[in-house]
């Protein structure tokens, strides 16, 4: 069977599942009666999203088994398990078929080895692009795809037929890299994307041992790596099987250390992710012990920093006042880059902008010191408005932007009722909530 004919037939596979061919299968109209009670999930428009069929049913001319079935929001079939083999087209029954919303085949299981794109594709699941072109499958034998020897394993092509990935059947040099006989991926222009090394290799001044997984960006610059054996990268012992990311300069951006490590005077915990700026200053880590950071008592957990070294976020080990606001212990505090408070949970009842806020209220501030938003854990009266527990927003001049009422309130001779939203402009004038940006 020619590749062109095969692709055409698979694009037409939907059409051949006709009611005539499968006359003995129940052709049911859409109704909840064919679904197992309680199995139906709906989209907001009322169409079925997913369900379990009670019996074999033809849907969009596809013979579906009494099993899980899913749909697009338009009502078109998305996936189901076939109730029978389709020998004429080498499609296996009792296997999952997936469709694009336009009705084209996305994936199915073929029942025997077929020649697709002049490649022998094993009897297993295959997939296609939306336009019907072949996407992926398993090779039935070892063979070259372009310049690369691929194993009888999974492979994937781009829409234009170029190799995207395969499992190399032998180690080889590709773009001067010693690429191990394992999974290799390529960008659409043919450049290496990811691979594993078969020997120790220097990349961007970093010495990686054999078996390290490497990922390059589209400019062929080191992007990610993962060690399979203990090694030092930039004088740091990196934990095995964790991802490292790099700046284009080759410097580490993110990593997980296998040992406790001190960076910029902060003891960071082993086994937890660490990030740093390109200049080497600490961006985030999990503190090994409680410590005072810029005068703040910080818990031994995640802490983040700005590039200027000031703390961005941290968790308090004790209740403390930050710029006159009592912040609750064991909760997160965030600061602006200039050190001004950005957010915290109140440790005590507090008056802010002439308004009383109860303890545990989450307050988020503008950089000018005015409240930007807060999360109420119980109803409160704000600027004379009965605001229900939940998220409350303000303008940067301190004026209330909106809230939902917990009891009726008359404003400008109009009564708003419980659970209604009321909205204001920056002058405090009542406005249509749809006009709020």
* 405 part of a folded domain: yes
Both tokens of 293, joined, read: 């950071």
Q: How many domains does the chain have?
A: 1
* 380 part of a folded domain: yes
Apex CA 345: angle with CA 340 and CA 347, to 5°? Answer: 105
Q: Report the C-alpha gap between 373 and 18 in whole angstroms.
A: 59
pLDDT at 171: 98
pLDDT at 30: 40
- Give the torsion sign (CA, 243, 248, 250, 252): negative
Q: Report the C-alpha gap between 335 and 348 in whole angstroms.
A: 20
**pTM, whole model, 2 decimals?**
0.81
DSSP letter string over 96-158? EEEE-TTS-EEEEEBSS-EEETTEEE-SSEEEE-TTS-EEEEEBSS-EEETTEEE-SSEEEE-
Going residue by residue through the chain, which has 437 residues, state the pLDDT in tens, using 9 for 90 and above. Answer: 343 333 333 433 433 333 223 322 333 334 457 999 999 999 999 999 999 999 999 999 899 999 999 999 999 999 999 999 988 778 999 999 999 999 999 999 999 999 998 999 999 999 999 999 999 999 999 999 999 999 999 999 999 999 999 999 999 999 999 999 999 999 999 999 999 999 999 998 899 999 999 999 999 999 999 999 989 999 999 999 999 999 999 999 999 999 999 999 999 999 999 999 999 999 999 999 999 999 999 999 999 999 999 999 999 999 999 999 999 999 999 999 999 999 999 999 998 888 888 899 999 999 999 999 988 888 888 888 889 888 889 999 989 999 899 988 888 778 888 888 888 899 888 888 887 76
* 189 part of a folded domain: no
Total number of residues shown for the chain: 437
Q: What are phi and psi of 5, to 5 degrees?
A: -65, -40
Give yes or no for a contact between 306 and 336, defined as CB atoms under 8 angstroms apart: no
Q: Which domain holds residue 357?
A: 349-437
**DSSP label at residue 197:** B
pLDDT at 415: 84
- Residues 175-193 as b/e (b if ≥16 CB within 10 A, e otherwise) read eebbbbeebbebbeeeebb
Q: Report the C-alpha gap between 27 and 30 in whole angstroms.
A: 10
pLDDT at 230: 87
pLDDT at 21: 32
Both tokens of 363, joined, read: 């307050």
Q: How many CA atoms lie within 13 A of 262 on its CB side?
A: 2
Q: Report the C-alpha gap between 346 and 350 in whole angstroms.
A: 8
* 426 part of a folded domain: yes
Give yes or no for a contact between 283 and 265, defined as CB atoms under 8 angstroms apart: no
* 419 part of a folded domain: yes
Residues 6+ apart with CB under 8 A from 358: 346, 349, 376, 377, 378, 380
Apex CA 87: angle with CA 81 and CA 89, to 5°? Answer: 85
* 304 part of a folded domain: no
* 327 part of a folded domain: no
pLDDT at 5: 34
* 238 part of a folded domain: no
Both tokens of 35, joined, read: 């679904």
pLDDT at 14: 35
């Amino acid at each position: 069977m020619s590749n062109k004919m095969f692709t055409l037939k698979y694009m037409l596979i939907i059409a051949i599942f006709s009611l005539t061919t499968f006359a003995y299968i129940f052709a049911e109209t859409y109704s909840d009666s064919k679904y197992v009670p309680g199995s139906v999930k709906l989209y907001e428009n009322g169409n079925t999203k997913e369900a379990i069929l009670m019996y074999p049913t033809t849907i969009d001319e596809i013979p579906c088994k009494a099993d899980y079935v899913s749909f697009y929001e338009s009502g078109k079939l998305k996936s189901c398990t076939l109730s029978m083999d389709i020998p004429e087209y080498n499609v296996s029954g009792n296997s999952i078929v997936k469709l694009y919303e336009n009705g084209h085949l996305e994936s199915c299981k073929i029942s025997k080895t077929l020649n697709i794109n002049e490649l022998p594709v094993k009897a297993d699941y295959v997939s296609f692009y939306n336009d019907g072109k072949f996407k992926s499958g398993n090779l039935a034998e070892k063979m070259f795809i372009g310049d690369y020897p691929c194993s009888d394993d999974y492979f994937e092509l781009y829409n234009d037929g170029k190799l995207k990935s395969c499992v190399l059947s032998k180690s080889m040099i590709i773009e001067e890299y010693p690429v191990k006989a394992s999974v290799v991926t390529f960008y659409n222009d043919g450049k290496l994307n990811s691979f594993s090394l078969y020997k120790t290799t220097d990349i961007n001044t970093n010495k990686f041992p054999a078996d390290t997984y490497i990922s390059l960006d589209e400019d062929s610059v080191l992007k990610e790596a993962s060690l399979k054996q203990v090694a030092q990268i930039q004088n740091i012992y990196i934990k095995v099987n964790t991802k490292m990311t790099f700046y284009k300069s080759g410097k580490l951006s993110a990593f997980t250390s296998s040992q406790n490590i001190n960076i910029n005077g902060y003891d960071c915990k082993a086994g937890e992710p660490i990030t740093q700026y390109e200049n080497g200053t600490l961006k985030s880590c999990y503190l090994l012990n409680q410590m005072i950071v810029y005068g703040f008592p910080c818990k031994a957990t995640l802490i983040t920093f700005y590039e200027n070294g000031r703390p961005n976020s941290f968790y308090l080990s004790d209740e403390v006042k930050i710029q006159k606001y009592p912040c609750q212990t064991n909760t997160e505090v965030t600061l602006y880059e200039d050190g001004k408070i950005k957010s915290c949970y109140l440790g005590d009842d507090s008056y802010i902008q002439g308004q009383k806020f109860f303890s545990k209220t989450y307050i988020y501030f503008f950089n000018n010191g005015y409240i930007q938003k807060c999360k109420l854990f119980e109803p409160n009266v704000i600027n004379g408005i009965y605001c229900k527990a939940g998220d409350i927003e303000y303008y940067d001049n301190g004026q209330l932007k909106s809230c939902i009422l917990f009891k009726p309130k008359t404003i400008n001779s109009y009564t708003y009722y419980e659970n209604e939203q009321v909205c204001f402009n920056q002058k405090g004038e009542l406005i249509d909530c749809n006009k709020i940006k």
